[in-house]
Structure 1
Amino acid sequence: MMKNKVLVITGMHRSGTSLITQWLQKCGLHIGDQFLGAGIGNTDGHFEDIDFVEAHRGILRELTGNDEGLLHPGDHCLHAEQRQLLDTLLNNKNAARAQWGWKDPRTCLFLDTYRELLPGANYLVILRDYRSVVSSLLSRRFKKSDHKYAMKGGLPLLIWKYFKKPFRKKKLLHQYSDRYLRAWIIYNQRILQHLLLLPAGTYLVIDHTSLSQTNQAIYDHLTKEWQLELNYFEFAKVYKENLLSEVWDVKAYVKDKSLLTKAEALQATLLQHAAY
Structure 2
Amino acid sequence: MNQSIIIAGMHRSGTSLSGNLLEQSGLFIGERLLSGGFDNKKGHFEDLEILSLHEKDLKLKQLDTRGLTGNIKGSLNFEQETNVLVDAFLSKRKNQVIWGWKEPRTTLYLQAWKQKLPNAKCIAIYRHYDEVEDSLIRRYRRKLKYGVGMSFTVRLKHILLYPINIFIKKYEAYKAWCIYNENILEFKKQHTDAVIVVELNHFLNNYNNIIVNVNKQFKTELQQIDVDKIFEKSLLKNSDGNGLKIRVFSKKRLDSVLGKLNDESLWI
TM-score by length of 2: 0.86
Give yes or no for the alignment of 1:121 onto 2:120: yes
Q: Which runs of 5+ in 2 are unaligned?
A: 149-158
1:267 aligns with 2:258: yes
Deviations along 1:5-61, one digit per CA (max 9) or x if unpaired, are 101011000111111110111122110010011112100000001110011011111
Distance between the aligned counterparts of 1:250 and 1:182, measured in 2?
22
Alpha-carbon deviation of 1:270? 1.3
Decide which of 60, 80, 84 is 2:58's aligned counterpart. 60
Equivalent residues of 2:3, 2:120 under 8 A apart: yes
1:229, distance to aligned residue in structure 2 (A): 2.9
What amino acid maps onto 1:81 in structure 2?
E
Question: In 2, Cα distance between the equivalents of 1:181 and 1:110?
Answer: 19
Q: State the SS of the aligned residue for 1:15.
A: coil
Letter in 1 for 2:266: A
Report deviation, 1:225.
Answer: 3.1
C-alpha distance in 1, partners of 2:213/2:238?
A: 31
User: 1:171 offset after TM fit, Å?
Assistant: 6.7
Q: CA deviation at 1:232?
A: 2.0
- CA distance in structure 2 between the aligned counterparts of 1:65 and 1:237, rounded to whole angstroms: 39
How many residues were matched structurally? 253
AA partner of residue 114 (structure 1): W
Structure 2 contact 129–177 (Cα < 8 Å) conserved: yes
- Tell me how far apart the structure 2 counterparts of residues 179 and 249 of structure 1 sit (CA, whole Å): 22
Aligned to 2:153: none
1:234 corresponds to which of 208, 226, 236? 226
Q: Determine the C-alpha separation between the residues in 2 that align with 1:104 and 1:6.
A: 14
How far residue 105 of structure 1 moved from its aligned partner, in angstroms, is: 0.3
Task: Name 1:154's counterpart in structure 2.
Answer: none
Q: What's the counterpart of residue 96 of structure 2?
A: 97
1:153 aligns with none
**Percent identity between the two aligned chains:** 27
Q: Match for residue 155 of structure 1?
A: none
Where does residue 37 of structure 2 map in the other structure? 39
CA distance in 2, matches of 1:143, 1:250: 22
How big is the shift at 1:106?
Answer: 0.2
Match of 2:201 in 1: 209
Larger helix proportion, structure 1 or 2? 1
2:4 aligned residue: 6
For 1:197, the equivalent position in structure 2 comes to 190
Q: Give every structure 1 segment of 4 or more consecutive aligned residues whose post-TM-superposition deviation is greater than 4 Å.
A: 170-173, 248-251
| TM-score (norm. length: structure 1) | 0.83
Decide whether aligned partners of structure 1 residues 197 and 84 sit closer, same or farther in structure 2, where only a CA change above 3 A counts.
farther
CA contact (8 A) 2:56 2:82 kept: no
Please tell me whether the aligned partners of residues 5 and 123 of structure 2 are also in contact (alpha carbons under 8 angstroms).
yes
Moved more, 241-250 or 173-182: 241-250
Give the superposed CA RMSD. Answer: 2.5
Which residue identity lines up with residue 210 of structure 1 in the other structure?
H
Match for residue 28 of structure 1?
26
Q: Which amino acid aligns with 2:91?
A: N
